Amino acid sequence: MSKIILLNNRPVGTPQLSDFKFSEEEKPTIAAGEILLKTKFISVDPYLRGRMSDAKSYIEPFQLNQPIASGGVAEVVESNNEAFKKGDFVSTFLDWKEYQISKGKGLLKIEETKVSLSAYLGVLGMTGLTAYCGLMEIGAPKAGETIVVSGAAGAVGSIVGQIGKILGCRVIGIAGTDEKVALLKSKFGFDEGINYNTTTNMSKAIAAVCPDGVDVYFDNVGGAISDGVHANINRFGRIAVCGAISTYNATTVPMGPRVESFLVKNSVLMQGFIVGNYAAKFAEATQQLTQWLQEGKLSHSETIVEGFDNTPQAFIDLFEGKNKGKMVVKVY
Amino acid sequence: MSKIILLNNRPVGTPQLSDFKFSEEEKPTIAAGEILLKTKFISVDPYLRGRMSDAKSYIEPFQLNQPIASGGVAEVVESNNEAFKKGDFVSTFLDWKEYQISKGKGLLKIEETKVSLSAYLGVLGMTGLTAYCGLMEIGAPKAGETIVVSGAAGAVGSIVGQIGKILGCRVIGIAGTDEKVALLKSKFGFDEGINYNTTTNMSKAIAAVCPDGVDVYFDNVGGAISDGVHANINRFGRIAVCGAISTYNATTVPMGPRVESFLVKNSVLMQGFIVGNYAAKFAEATQQLTQWLQEGKLSHSETIVEGFDNTPQAFIDLFEGKNKGKMVVKVY
């Protein structure tokens, strides 16, 4: 048998374990041209919260009583397809199932070389590409500029900050615990870190560590943290809006200071994006990230939760910031 | 003697006549290389409200007990400068004075040809350049796309809409009276108009006239009107944030729905700007605007208030939408 995880309810506010349902199905049998994938790692990501709602978005919502799906790493355990052999590892989009069939399309063959297989869900996968493309294409930082990153200890934020340092920028990170803030400086090389949970006036806190103002803001969180950064944005500042995790579980429209005045006063750019917009840059980005990784210029951090059954809880924990870096579930 | 208008108080909320003070000075005497300018037209513009505050902005605040200044058209009435002769007309940045001296720098010589001199404060001046550069550089509309313009009957908005039609777009304008809405269609060729004062649900009203959603939003007003447009923005939509007149007189920080979610969901660009950012495009823009004007493709609308003494009231009236098109004071 093969365990699967279905969407039981559309979450209201913060997702609950009861929004997920475990089930089982027969371990599938492959036909000609097909391969059988055994899930090794499952990526849990904040954006999945959006797909659990039925609101219009850039990606189709999950269906009730159907499997959740996300990025994953799998092992080929049976193959009727010439392009894959038993024992190959692939990175692809997977249903939350222990076993599933693939016809071989959209699979990226990967190898466990200098990095663990799970890195292909993080620094060399969607989160690394999100960091690289959002920062380079929207933030377009120049050496000497100041970059602020929210959700800085997270999977995307920690890579954004390191790229900023590689490019010669001053980099400030915002995170939610003193431990994470310490990690920003010790592991990821940020110049300064701010713990938003112990900061009463974010605007003043940003001003204190950004004497020349903020040129680039890479925003993963939105909400009151961002208000404090916006108040310090420089003329011709660029805000890459990658996510707004602080508002994903809101049940009413989150309200905040209107942005138009500072956008006009300082000729500021705000650009929302998803990584898929920059597919044309993926090859270049992956090559650059791999090189930096091999040169030891890029550290990556993972929180690995063990066991397929813990996938829903790992996802829920994202919203309480329990992860440091990429949150991944190790299935086997 | 020469009358002048000084900033008496920094306005709190909506500007009052008492925020301005009239005074007189000796009609100045020119030295070698100087010319004496007699003010013919004064441009009153919403952005001047910002300069009356002492908040940090892209331009220095006006000083108390010093003259207000804005765009204007003047006649050269005396000249000790070879580049100018008595009877020349110039467009430049003028203090609110009947007479003033210039050394000839930053003056654009203009002629009363097919358009009135005041057009150089509007369609061929700062407002025309604002419309052209903001729409082309940020909105970047393609034929067949849908453009929404707020403040559509105003100086900038009416030109934006017409350029949109010239480019083959569907153009919707939002204005504050039925008379203005009628003008949008009859004079400026907009496809549809919406009176925000008689519309209870702006989001539904926009949806009704934009069956394919909104690709470009040229925003002059901000506030609740913009919330309704944002709700209909398409994937990869572009929002040129030109101004936020609805909030300029606010005495507390205006609050509204946070924008991050729709920016990310639809990969939307929001770019604040001032016309000066695009100085490199002014020659091209002026040439294009002049050509369209001469070809009869561009109508422009002015509200001309007569009399130097009425300048403060004309400025105040902007915030009640009493102008149709460019608001100009005719001094002589």
Residue A228 to residues A150, A222, B254, B287, Cα–Cα distance (Å): 11, 10, 15, 43
Q: Do A235 and B58 touch (CB under 8 A)?
A: yes
Write out chain A residues lying below 8 Å of B268, CB-based: 271-272
Taking any CB pair shorter than 8 Å as contact, residues of chain B touching chain A are 50, 56-58, 219, 222-223, 226, 235, 241-244, 247, 253-274, 277
Nearest Cβ partner for B273 among A255, A257, A267 = A267
Question: What CA–CA distances, in Å, run from A237 to B200, B241, B254, B271?
Answer: 35, 14, 21, 10
pLDDT at residue number A114: 63
Q: Shortest CA distance to A321 belongs to which of A178, A172, A151, A182?
A: A151
- Residue A267 and residue B272: Cβ atoms within 8 Å? yes
- Answer yes or no: do A269 and B269 touch at CB < 8 A: yes
Instruction: Sketch the domain layout of chain B as residue ranges.
Output: 2-122+300-330, 126-277
Cα–Cα distance, B168 to B159 (Å, whole number)? 14
Phi, psi (5° rounding) for residue A138?
A: -100, -50
Inter-residue contact B190 to B210 (CB < 8 Å): no
Distance from C-alpha of B10 to C-alpha of B271, rounded to nearest angstrom? 28
Q: What is the rounded CA–CA span in Å between residue A20 and residue A301? A: 27
Per the CB < 8 A criterion, the answer to whether A195 and A176 are in contact is yes
Cβ-defined contact of A58 to B254 (cutoff 8 Å):
no
CB contact under 8 A, B260 and A219: yes
Asked whether the CA dihedral A257, A260, A266, A271 is positive or negative, the reply is: positive
Round the CA-based radius of gyration of chain A to a whole number and report it: 20
Six-digit token string for B78: 């005396």
DSSP line for B265-290: HTT-EEEE--GGGGGGGHHHHHHHHH
User: In angstroms, what separates the C-alpha of B253 from chain A's closest C-alpha?
Assistant: 6
Cβ pair A270:B266 closer than 8 A:
no
Sheet holding A192-195, edge to edge: A192-195, A170-175, A146-150, A214-219, A233-241, A269-272, B269-272, B233-241, B214-219, B146-150, B170-175, B192-195
List of chain B residues whose C-beta atoms are within 8 Å of the C-beta of residue A262? 272
CB contact under 8 A, A50 and B265: yes
- In this prediction, residue A283 carries a pLDDT of 82
Q: Give CA separation, B190 vs A160, B160, B162, B167, B204, in Å.
A: 44, 10, 7, 12, 19
Q: Which residues of B touch A254 (CB under 8 A)?
A: 257-258, 261
At B237-248, the pLDDT tens digits run 999 999 888 777
Shortest CA gap A223–chain B (Å): 8
> Across the A/B interface, how many CB contacts are shorter than 8 Å?
120
Please count the other Cβ atoms lying within 10 Å of the Cβ belonging to residue A293: 18
Residues of A in contact with B254 (CB under 8 A): 257-258, 261
- On chain A, the residues whose CB falls within 8 A of the CB of B228 are none
Is A271 in Cβ contact with B270 (below 8 Å)? yes
Chain B hits for A50, CB-CB cut-off 8 Å, are 265
CB–CB contact B244 A260 (8 Å): yes
Q: Report how far residue B160's alpha carbon sits from residue B164's, in angstroms, rounded to the nearest whole number.
A: 6
Query: Looking up tokens 């400030």, which residue turns up?
Result: A172
Query: Closest Cα to residue B159, out of B299, B321, B254?
Result: B299
Q: Specify the DSSP element, H or E, that contains B30.
A: none
Mutation target among A203, A230, A239, A258 for the B interface, most CBs of B within 10 A? A258
Report chain B's C-alpha Rg in angstroms.
20
DSSP state, residue A271: E
Q: What is the pLDDT of residue A108?
A: 84
Contact A259 B242 (CB under 8 A): no
- Are residues B309 and B329 in contact, defined by beta-carbon separation less than 8 angstroms? no
May I ask the CATH class of domain B2-122+300-330?
alpha beta
Determine the distance in angstroms separating the CA of B7 from the nearest CA of chain A, rounded to an integer: 21
Positions of chain B with pLDDT under 50: none
DSSP β-ladder status, A69-79 and A35-43:
antiparallel
Closest to A326 (Cα-Cα) out of A30, A72, A14, A86: A72
Chain B residues whose CB is inside 8 A of the A264 CB are 241-244, 272-274
In angstroms, the CA A180 to CA A325 distance is 10
Cβ distance of B242 and A261 shorter than 8 Å: no
Per-residue three-class SS string for B116-153 = CHHHHHCCCCHHHHHHHHHHHHHHCCCCCCEEEEECCC
**pLDDT tens digits for chain A (332 residues)?**
999 999 999 999 999 999 999 999 999 999 999 999 999 999 999 889 989 998 776 678 999 999 999 999 999 999 999 999 999 999 999 999 999 999 998 898 887 766 788 989 999 988 999 999 999 999 999 999 999 999 999 889 999 999 999 999 999 999 999 999 999 999 999 999 999 999 999 999 999 999 999 999 999 999 999 999 999 999 999 999 998 887 777 778 899 999 999 999 999 999 999 998 998 998 899 889 988 988 989 988 889 999 999 999 999 999 988 888 899 999 98
Q: How far, CA to CA in Å, does B120 sit from each of B43, B54, B64, B92, B126?
A: 10, 29, 29, 10, 8
Considering the entire predicted model, what is its pTM?
0.85
The DSSP bridge partners found for residue A214 are A233
A86 to chain B, minimum CA–CA distance in Å?
39
Q: What is the dihedral of CA A297, A303, A309, A313, to 10 degrees?
A: -130
Do B36 and B30 form a contact (C-beta atoms < 8 A)? Answer: yes
State the burial class of residue A55 (Cβ atoms within 10 Å of its Cβ: 0-12, 13-18, 19+): exposed
- The DSSP H or E segment spanning A13 is none
SS3 B28: coil
CB atoms within 10 A of CB B22: 14
In chain A, the N- to C-terminal Cα span, in Å, equals 15
Specify the pLDDT at position A300.
85
CB contact under 8 A, A268 and B272: yes
From chain B, the residues in CB contact with A58 under 8 A are 235, 265-267
pLDDT at B283: 82
> Which positions ≥6 away from A319 have C-beta within 8 Å?
A14, A15, A46, A49, A245, A248, A249
List the structure tokens of A228: 């404090």
CATH number for the A2-121+300-330 domain, one of 3.30.470.20, 3.90.180.10, 3.20.20.80, 3.40.640.10?
3.90.180.10
| Partner-chain contact B273 A264, CB within 8 Å | yes
| Fold category of B126-277 in CATH | Rossmann fold (3.40.50)
pLDDT at B68: 97
